[in-house]
Protein backbone atom coordinates (compact mmCIF):
# COMPACT_ATOMS: atom_id res chain seq x y z
CA UNK A 1 0.00 0.00 0.00
CA UNK A 2 1.17 3.51 -0.78
CA UNK A 3 2.17 6.04 1.87
CA UNK A 4 -0.99 7.66 3.28
CA UNK A 5 -2.11 9.51 6.33
CA UNK A 6 -4.50 7.62 8.56
CA UNK A 7 -2.35 4.48 8.66
CA UNK A 8 -2.58 3.86 12.39
CA UNK A 9 -1.70 0.22 11.69
CA UNK A 10 1.82 1.41 11.04
CA UNK A 11 1.91 3.57 14.18
CA UNK A 12 0.82 0.61 16.31
CA UNK A 13 3.27 -1.70 14.62
CA UNK A 14 6.23 0.64 15.18
CA UNK A 15 5.39 2.26 18.51
CA UNK A 16 2.86 -0.04 20.19
CA UNK A 17 -0.45 0.59 21.91
CA UNK A 18 -3.85 -0.09 20.41
CA UNK A 19 -5.22 1.99 17.54
CA UNK A 20 -7.78 3.56 19.89
CA UNK A 21 -5.01 4.83 22.20
CA UNK A 22 -3.65 7.07 19.47
CA UNK A 23 -4.59 10.60 18.48
CA UNK A 24 -4.42 10.47 14.72
CA UNK A 25 -3.10 13.79 13.40
CA UNK A 26 -1.61 12.09 10.34
CA UNK A 27 -4.63 13.01 8.20
CA UNK A 28 -6.51 16.12 7.17
CA UNK A 29 -9.75 14.76 8.63
CA UNK A 30 -11.69 17.06 10.97
CA UNK A 31 -11.64 15.51 14.44
CA UNK A 32 -14.93 17.13 15.46
CA UNK A 33 -17.16 15.21 13.05
CA UNK A 34 -20.62 16.15 11.94
CA UNK A 35 -23.05 14.33 14.28
CA UNK A 36 -24.21 11.18 12.50
CA UNK A 37 -27.41 10.90 14.53
CA UNK A 38 -29.94 8.20 13.79
CA UNK A 39 -29.80 6.55 10.36
CA UNK A 40 -33.33 5.39 9.50
CA UNK A 41 -33.52 1.60 9.09
CA UNK A 42 -34.68 1.99 5.52
CA UNK A 43 -31.26 3.41 4.51
CA UNK A 44 -29.57 0.26 5.77
CA UNK A 45 -31.96 -2.26 4.29
CA UNK A 46 -33.03 -0.96 0.90
CA UNK A 47 -31.05 -0.36 -2.25
CA UNK A 48 -30.51 3.39 -2.66
CA UNK A 49 -33.17 4.67 -5.06
CA UNK A 50 -32.60 7.08 -7.94
CA UNK A 51 -34.67 9.69 -6.10
CA UNK A 52 -32.54 9.44 -2.97
CA UNK A 53 -29.26 9.56 -4.87
CA UNK A 54 -30.51 12.57 -6.80
CA UNK A 55 -31.49 14.35 -3.57
CA UNK A 56 -27.94 13.83 -2.29
CA UNK A 57 -26.53 15.21 -5.52
CA UNK A 58 -28.82 18.21 -5.19
CA UNK A 59 -27.59 18.85 -1.63
CA UNK A 60 -24.04 18.76 -2.98
CA UNK A 61 -24.97 21.28 -5.69
CA UNK A 62 -26.29 23.59 -2.98
CA UNK A 63 -23.30 23.18 -0.70
CA UNK A 64 -20.83 23.69 -3.53
CA UNK A 65 -22.86 26.48 -5.16
CA UNK A 66 -23.10 24.98 -8.61
CA UNK A 67 -25.63 23.88 -11.20
CA UNK A 68 -23.19 21.50 -12.84
CA UNK A 69 -23.94 17.78 -13.25
CA UNK A 70 -22.88 15.98 -10.08
CA UNK A 71 -22.19 12.34 -9.23
CA UNK A 72 -22.01 11.05 -5.64
CA UNK A 73 -19.25 8.46 -5.31
CA UNK A 74 -17.46 6.44 -2.63
CA UNK A 75 -15.06 9.27 -1.83
CA UNK A 76 -13.02 11.49 -4.14
CA UNK A 77 -10.74 8.44 -4.31
CA UNK A 78 -13.43 6.49 -6.18
CA UNK A 79 -13.31 9.12 -8.92
CA UNK A 80 -9.51 9.03 -9.03
CA UNK A 81 -9.67 5.26 -9.58
CA UNK A 82 -11.74 5.85 -12.73
CA UNK A 83 -9.70 8.71 -14.24
CA UNK A 84 -7.55 6.46 -16.44
CA UNK A 85 -10.70 5.17 -18.14
CA UNK A 86 -12.46 8.52 -18.34
CA UNK A 87 -9.75 10.49 -20.09
CA UNK A 88 -8.37 9.63 -23.47
CA UNK A 89 -4.71 10.02 -24.29
CA UNK A 90 -1.60 8.95 -22.48
CA UNK A 91 0.19 12.02 -21.11
CA UNK A 92 -0.74 13.09 -17.59
CA UNK A 93 0.83 16.15 -15.96
CA UNK A 94 0.39 16.50 -12.23
CA UNK A 95 1.21 19.61 -10.23
CA UNK A 96 3.55 18.21 -7.59
CA UNK A 97 4.26 17.47 -4.85
CA UNK A 98 0.71 16.42 -4.09
CA UNK A 99 -1.60 13.57 -3.07
CA UNK A 100 0.24 10.53 -4.38
CA UNK A 101 -2.75 8.52 -5.64
CA UNK A 102 -3.00 10.45 -8.91
CA UNK A 103 0.44 9.48 -10.14
CA UNK A 104 0.09 5.95 -8.81
CA UNK A 105 -3.31 5.20 -10.35
CA UNK A 106 -2.45 6.75 -13.73
CA UNK A 107 0.96 5.07 -13.92
CA UNK A 108 -0.54 1.70 -13.04
CA UNK A 109 -2.97 2.13 -15.95
CA UNK A 110 -0.10 2.74 -18.36
CA UNK A 111 -0.21 6.53 -18.52
CA UNK A 112 2.96 8.51 -19.00
CA UNK A 113 2.97 10.62 -15.84
CA UNK A 114 5.04 13.76 -15.41
CA UNK A 115 5.07 15.62 -12.12
CA UNK A 116 5.56 19.33 -12.79
CA UNK A 117 6.35 22.21 -10.42
CA UNK A 118 4.15 24.99 -11.85
CA UNK A 119 0.83 25.58 -13.60
CA UNK A 120 2.41 26.50 -16.95
CA UNK A 121 4.11 23.15 -17.21
CA UNK A 122 0.72 21.44 -17.13
CA UNK A 123 0.01 22.67 -20.67
CA UNK A 124 0.03 20.07 -23.41
CA UNK A 125 -1.15 17.24 -21.20
CA UNK A 126 -4.06 15.01 -22.14
CA UNK A 127 -4.94 15.03 -18.47
CA UNK A 128 -3.77 17.70 -16.02
CA UNK A 129 -4.26 17.46 -12.27
CA UNK A 130 -4.23 20.31 -9.73
CA UNK A 131 -5.12 19.85 -6.07
CA UNK A 132 -6.44 23.22 -4.87
CA UNK A 133 -5.67 24.05 -2.13
CA UNK A 134 -2.85 21.58 -2.37
CA UNK A 135 -2.06 18.69 -0.08
CA UNK A 136 0.38 18.71 1.70
CA UNK A 137 1.68 22.28 1.25
CA UNK A 138 -1.58 24.27 1.06
CA UNK A 139 -0.58 26.01 -2.18
CA UNK A 140 -3.54 27.87 -3.72
CA UNK A 141 -4.33 28.76 -7.28
CA UNK A 142 -6.60 31.51 -8.53
CA UNK A 143 -9.64 30.47 -10.42
CA UNK A 144 -8.65 32.67 -13.34
CA UNK A 145 -5.24 31.06 -13.66
CA UNK A 146 -6.83 27.63 -13.73
CA UNK A 147 -9.45 28.66 -16.29
CA UNK A 148 -6.70 30.11 -18.50
CA UNK A 149 -5.09 26.70 -18.45
CA UNK A 150 -8.27 24.92 -19.51
CA UNK A 151 -7.91 25.30 -23.32
CA UNK A 152 -4.27 24.23 -23.10
CA UNK A 153 -4.95 20.72 -21.76
CA UNK A 154 -7.14 17.83 -22.86
CA UNK A 155 -8.90 17.56 -19.53
CA UNK A 156 -8.32 19.45 -16.31
CA UNK A 157 -9.01 17.76 -12.98
CA UNK A 158 -9.22 20.07 -9.98
CA UNK A 159 -9.21 18.19 -6.70
CA UNK A 160 -10.95 20.41 -4.14
CA UNK A 161 -10.78 17.91 -1.29
CA UNK A 162 -9.65 20.71 1.03
CA UNK A 163 -11.68 23.56 -0.48
CA UNK A 164 -14.59 23.48 1.98
CA UNK A 165 -14.93 26.84 3.67
CA UNK A 166 -12.85 28.56 0.96
CA UNK A 167 -15.52 28.97 -1.72
CA UNK A 168 -13.54 31.78 -3.32
CA UNK A 169 -11.09 29.14 -4.58
CA UNK A 170 -13.61 26.69 -5.95
CA UNK A 171 -14.27 26.05 -9.62
CA UNK A 172 -17.42 24.07 -8.81
CA UNK A 173 -19.59 26.71 -10.46
CA UNK A 174 -17.63 26.27 -13.71
CA UNK A 175 -17.64 22.48 -13.64
CA UNK A 176 -20.28 22.17 -16.36
CA UNK A 177 -17.59 22.91 -18.96
CA UNK A 178 -16.81 19.79 -20.96
CA UNK A 179 -13.08 19.48 -20.23
CA UNK A 180 -13.18 20.42 -16.55
CA UNK A 181 -13.73 17.92 -13.75
CA UNK A 182 -13.92 19.03 -10.12
CA UNK A 183 -13.60 16.48 -7.31
CA UNK A 184 -14.88 17.12 -3.80
CA UNK A 185 -14.29 15.07 -0.70
CA UNK A 186 -17.07 14.89 1.87
CA UNK A 187 -15.33 13.00 4.66
CA UNK A 188 -12.50 15.40 5.45
CA UNK A 189 -14.28 18.64 6.38
CA UNK A 190 -17.26 16.77 7.85
CA UNK A 191 -14.95 14.42 9.75
CA UNK A 192 -16.64 11.29 8.39
CA UNK A 193 -14.01 9.59 6.26
CA UNK A 194 -15.41 6.16 7.11
CA UNK A 195 -18.67 7.03 5.37
CA UNK A 196 -16.88 6.96 1.99
CA UNK A 197 -18.51 9.86 0.19
CA UNK A 198 -17.28 12.34 -2.35
CA UNK A 199 -18.51 14.01 -5.51
CA UNK A 200 -17.47 14.48 -9.10
CA UNK A 201 -18.72 17.67 -10.78
CA UNK A 202 -18.26 17.98 -14.49
CA UNK A 203 -19.67 18.21 -17.97
CA UNK A 204 -22.64 16.03 -18.84
CA UNK A 205 -20.56 13.60 -20.86
CA UNK A 206 -17.98 13.03 -18.13
CA UNK A 207 -20.56 12.63 -15.39
CA UNK A 208 -22.56 10.17 -17.48
CA UNK A 209 -19.39 8.19 -18.23
CA UNK A 210 -18.34 8.14 -14.57
CA UNK A 211 -21.85 7.12 -13.56
CA UNK A 212 -21.82 4.20 -15.99
CA UNK A 213 -18.46 3.07 -14.61
CA UNK A 214 -19.50 3.49 -10.97
CA UNK A 215 -22.69 1.49 -11.46
CA UNK A 216 -26.27 1.91 -10.29
CA UNK A 217 -25.56 2.13 -6.52
CA UNK A 218 -22.37 4.18 -6.18
CA UNK A 219 -22.85 5.15 -2.50
CA UNK A 220 -24.38 3.57 0.58
CA UNK A 221 -27.73 4.43 2.13
CA UNK A 222 -25.96 5.87 5.18
CA UNK A 223 -23.89 8.13 2.93
CA UNK A 224 -27.13 9.44 1.42
CA UNK A 225 -28.86 9.96 4.76
CA UNK A 226 -25.95 11.56 6.61
CA UNK A 227 -24.37 13.31 3.64
CA UNK A 228 -27.55 15.07 2.60
CA UNK A 229 -28.26 16.28 6.12
CA UNK A 230 -24.71 17.52 6.63
CA UNK A 231 -24.37 19.27 3.27
CA UNK A 232 -27.54 21.27 3.91
CA UNK A 233 -26.48 22.29 7.43
CA UNK A 234 -24.93 25.64 6.63
CA UNK A 235 -24.78 26.72 10.27
CA UNK A 236 -22.61 23.76 11.19
CA UNK A 237 -20.32 24.41 8.22
CA UNK A 238 -19.92 28.06 9.16
CA UNK A 239 -19.25 27.37 12.84
CA UNK A 240 -16.80 24.64 11.89
CA UNK A 241 -14.86 26.89 9.53
CA UNK A 242 -14.54 29.52 12.27
CA UNK A 243 -13.39 26.94 14.80
CA UNK A 244 -10.86 25.43 12.38
CA UNK A 245 -9.35 28.84 11.60
CA UNK A 246 -8.84 29.48 15.28
CA UNK A 247 -7.38 26.01 15.81
CA UNK A 248 -4.93 26.45 12.93
CA UNK A 249 -3.52 29.54 14.62
CA UNK A 250 -3.38 27.68 17.89
CA UNK A 251 -1.45 24.77 16.38
CA UNK A 252 0.99 27.07 14.59
CA UNK A 253 1.66 28.80 17.91
CA UNK A 254 1.89 25.54 19.82
CA UNK A 255 4.70 24.10 17.67
CA UNK A 256 6.81 27.29 17.69
CA UNK A 257 8.61 25.98 20.78
CA UNK A 258 10.13 23.32 18.53
CA UNK A 259 11.39 25.82 15.97
CA UNK A 260 9.19 24.23 13.30
CA UNK A 261 8.46 26.65 10.46
CA UNK A 262 5.03 26.82 8.81
CA UNK A 263 5.32 26.00 5.11
CA UNK A 264 1.61 26.19 4.42
CA UNK A 265 -1.60 24.38 5.05
CA UNK A 266 -5.36 24.40 4.84
CA UNK A 267 -8.05 24.61 7.49
CA UNK A 268 -7.59 20.89 8.13
CA UNK A 269 -3.83 20.41 8.31
CA UNK A 270 -0.56 22.34 8.66
CA UNK A 271 2.77 21.55 7.02
CA UNK A 272 5.92 22.36 9.00
CA UNK A 273 9.55 22.37 8.06
CA UNK A 274 11.52 20.70 10.83
CA UNK A 275 15.20 19.85 11.21
CA UNK A 276 14.38 16.16 11.19
CA UNK A 277 10.81 15.08 10.58
CA UNK A 278 11.44 11.52 11.62
CA UNK A 279 12.70 12.69 15.01
CA UNK A 280 9.67 14.97 15.28
CA UNK A 281 7.37 12.08 14.45
CA UNK A 282 9.04 9.95 17.11
CA UNK A 283 8.74 12.73 19.69
CA UNK A 284 4.98 12.87 19.09
CA UNK A 285 4.64 9.10 18.82
CA UNK A 286 5.99 8.84 22.34
CA UNK A 287 2.72 10.45 23.43
CA UNK A 288 0.72 8.27 21.02
CA UNK A 289 0.15 11.15 18.62
CA UNK A 290 0.51 10.08 15.01
CA UNK A 291 1.78 12.45 12.32
CA UNK A 292 2.57 12.34 8.64
CA UNK A 293 6.09 12.51 7.25
CA UNK A 294 7.26 12.27 3.65
CA UNK A 295 9.96 9.97 2.39
CA UNK A 296 11.05 12.44 -0.30
CA UNK A 297 11.12 15.46 2.05
CA UNK A 298 13.05 14.61 5.21
CA UNK A 299 12.16 17.92 6.91
CA UNK A 300 8.41 17.92 6.30
CA UNK A 301 5.90 17.14 9.04
CA UNK A 302 2.18 17.42 8.42
CA UNK A 303 -0.21 17.71 11.35
CA UNK A 304 -3.99 17.66 11.51
CA UNK A 305 -5.79 19.60 14.24
CA UNK A 306 -6.53 18.15 17.68
CA UNK A 307 -10.25 17.66 18.22
CA UNK A 308 -10.74 18.62 21.86
CA UNK A 309 -8.96 20.01 24.93
CA UNK A 310 -7.75 16.58 26.05
CA UNK A 311 -6.02 16.15 22.71
CA UNK A 312 -4.55 19.67 22.83
CA UNK A 313 -3.21 18.97 26.29
CA UNK A 314 -1.57 15.73 25.19
CA UNK A 315 0.02 17.54 22.28
CA UNK A 316 1.31 20.33 24.52
CA UNK A 317 2.74 17.78 26.94
CA UNK A 318 4.44 15.88 24.12
CA UNK A 319 6.02 19.05 22.77
CA UNK A 320 7.25 20.20 26.15
CA UNK A 321 8.51 16.74 27.06
Q: Is residue 227 classed exposed, middle or buried when 0-12, 13-18 and 19+ CB atoms within 10 A define those classes?
A: buried
Task: Determine if 198 is a binding residue for its own copies (CB under 8 A).
Answer: no
82: helix, strand or coil: helix
Decide if residue 195 touches its own copies (CB under 8 A): yes
Q: Which stretch binds its own copies (CB under 8 A): 5-13, 173-181, 258-266, 277-285?
A: 5-13
Strand partners of residue 73: 198
**Would you say 101 or 282 has its CB closer to its own copies?**
101
Q: What is the DSSP letter of 187?
A: T
Q: Give the three-class secondary structure for 180.
A: strand
Site string for its own copies, 32-71 (x = CB under 8 A): -x--x----xxxxxxxxxxx--------------------
Residue of 6, 154, 176, 299 that binds its own copies (CB under 8 A): 6
d(C-alpha 317, C-alpha 19), whole Å: 20
Nearer to its own copies, 117 or 215 (CB): 215
Among 25, 29, 122, 251, binds its own copies (CB under 8 A): 29
CB of residue 314 to its own copies, shortest distance in Å: 18
Closest distance to its own copies from the beta carbon of 112 (Å): 19
CA 83 to each of CA 35, 144, 169, 200, 292: distance values in angstroms, whole numbers, following the listed order: 32, 24, 23, 11, 26
Among 119, 182, 193, 280, binds its own copies (CB under 8 A): 193
Rounded least distance, CB 303 to its own copies, Å: 17
Stretch of 115-123, 132-140, 191-199, 261-269 contacting its own copies, by CB under 8 A: 191-199
Distance CA 201, CA 171 (A): 10
In the bound complex, what is the minimum distance in angstroms from residue 33's beta carbon to its own copies? 5
65 and 170 Cβ atoms separated by less than 8 Å: yes
Identify the helix (H) or strand (E) that includes residue 261. strand 261-265
Q: Which of 14, 19, 286, 308 binds its own copies (CB under 8 A)?
A: 19
Q: Does 140 bind its own copies (CB under 8 A)?
A: no
CB 255 within 8 A of CB 272: yes
Cis peptide before 187 (omega within 30 of 0): no
Burial 231-261 (b: 16+ CB within 10 A, else e): bebeeebeebeeebeebbeebbebbeeeebe
Residue 134 to residue 174: CA distance in whole angstroms: 19
Among residues 123, 147, 165, 213, the one that binds its own copies under rule CB under 8 A: 213
* Residue 14 touching its own copies (CB under 8 A): no
Judged by beta carbon, residue 8 or residue 289, the one nearer its own copies is 8
Among 87, 103, 192, 277, binds its own copies (CB under 8 A): 192
DSSP code for 205: H
User: Of 160-168, 188-196, 276-284, 292-300, which part binds its own copies (CB under 8 A)?
Assistant: 188-196
Strands 292-294 and 297-304: antiparallel
Q: Which of 55, 81, 90, 258 binds its own copies (CB under 8 A)?
A: 81
CA distance 48 to 54: 10
Question: Can residue 221 be called a binding residue for its own copies (CB under 8 A)?
Answer: yes
Give residues in contact with its own copies (CB under 8 A). 1-2, 4, 6-9, 19-20, 24, 27, 29, 31, 33, 36, 41-51, 74-75, 77-78, 80-81, 85, 101, 105, 108, 187, 191-196, 212-223, 226
Amino acid sequence: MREHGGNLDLAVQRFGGRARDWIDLSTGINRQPYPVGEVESHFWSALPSRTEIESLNEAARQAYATNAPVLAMGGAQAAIQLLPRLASGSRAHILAPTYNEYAAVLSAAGWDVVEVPGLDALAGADLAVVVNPNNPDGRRHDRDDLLTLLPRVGRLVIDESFADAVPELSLAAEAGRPSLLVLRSFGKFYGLAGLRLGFALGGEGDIAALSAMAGPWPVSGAAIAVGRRALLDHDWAKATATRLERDCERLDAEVKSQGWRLLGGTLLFRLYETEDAQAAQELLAGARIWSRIFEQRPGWLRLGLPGNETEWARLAAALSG
